[in-house]
Amino acid sequence: MSTKKDYAIKVSHVTKKFKIYYDKANTLKERLVFWKSKNKNEERTVLEDINVEIKKGETVALIGTNGSGKSTLLKLMTKIIYPTKGKIITVGKLTSLLELGAGFHDDFTGRENIYFNASIFGLTKSEIDAKVDDIIAFSELEEFIDNPVRTYSSGMYMRLAFSVAINVNAEILLIDEILAVGDQHFQDKCFSKLEELKNSDKTIVIVSHSLESIRKLCDRAIWIKDGHIKMDGEANSVIDSYLEECK
């Protein structure tokens, strides 16, 4: 096979259905007693027949109203959940920032949590050793790094989590609504870090409602509405038509 893969993420004919349980029969007794009335749950189609190809080095925003399915699409790309139908192929090491501080342990120190969190992203000890100083410097938490994270304020917690995730050297970065981290100073810093990553040929997919940042950061936007792709194209024009409809 000599076909060159120039895409980073390829989503083909993906449909995702969720089961909506009104009353989930979780125990064996309930399953036995209610085995006849199985039609208690209904399926909701969140995404239907989605086709997207994201090229290497592209910075793409997913926009849409709440519940339109954009976060679901992002979760499918990370392989946290799997499509009901269709296929998703990703090329290269992938990191997702769906929720900051996933896997943090309150009783461990900031430094230990850096190691633990980075290991969840698939880094080895020597790779983390090489980066730990950068991570600490980026978070600006030098004074507190050897205290347990339960003593951190929520802003400090977020800063540490973001610093770990952003410094994991992934080729694809999936981000869900976390551009608003910390104070203005730290937000600016995150933003310029993202710009730096963008210029270093990383593929970035962002779900966000802060349209102004998207305009600045992204080349392309995909507007998802009710589980379908409503519009896909140059960021400014997609955002303009999205705003037009939201009026």
**Where do contacts with another protein occur on this chain (CB under 8 A)?**
18-19, 26-29, 31, 75, 78-82, 94, 96, 98-99, 102-103, 105, 107, 115-116, 118-125, 128
Label each residue of 15-48 as H, E or C: EEEEEECCCCCCCHHHHHHCCCCHHHCEEEEEEE
Q: What tokens does 8 get?
A: 């980073």
Residue 125 CB, shortest distance to another protein, in Å, is 5
Q: Given phi > 0 = left and psi -120 to 50 = alpha, else beta, which region is 82?
A: beta
H or E element in which residue 210 lies: none
Angle value at C-alpha 10, between 200 and 216, nearest 5 degrees: 40
CB closer to another protein out of 75 and 202:
75
Bridge partners (DSSP) listed for residue 207: 62, 176
Least Å from the CB of residue 239 to another protein: 28
Among 76, 61, 71, smallest CA distance to 204 is for: 61
Q: What is the distance between the alpha carbons of residues 207 and 155, in angstroms, rounded to a whole number? A: 21
Least distance in angstroms from the C-beta of 24 to another protein = 9
What is the smallest separation between the CB atom of 10 and another protein, expressed in angstroms?
A: 17
How far is it, in rounded angstroms, from Cα 102 to Cα 119?
Answer: 12
Nearer to another protein, 115 or 191 (CB): 115
Closest CB 39 distance from another protein, rounded Å: 19
Kindly state the smallest distance separating residue 128's Cβ from another protein, in Å.
7
Shorter beta-carbon distance to another protein: residue 100 or 238: 100
C-beta of 81 vs 243, nearer to another protein: 81
Which residues in 162-198 are b (16+ Cβ under 10 Å) and which e?
bbbbbbbebbbbbbbbbbebbeeebeebbeeebeebb
Give the nearer residue to another protein in terms of CB position, either 21 or 237: 21
Nearer to another protein by Cβ, of 104 and 223: the residue is 104
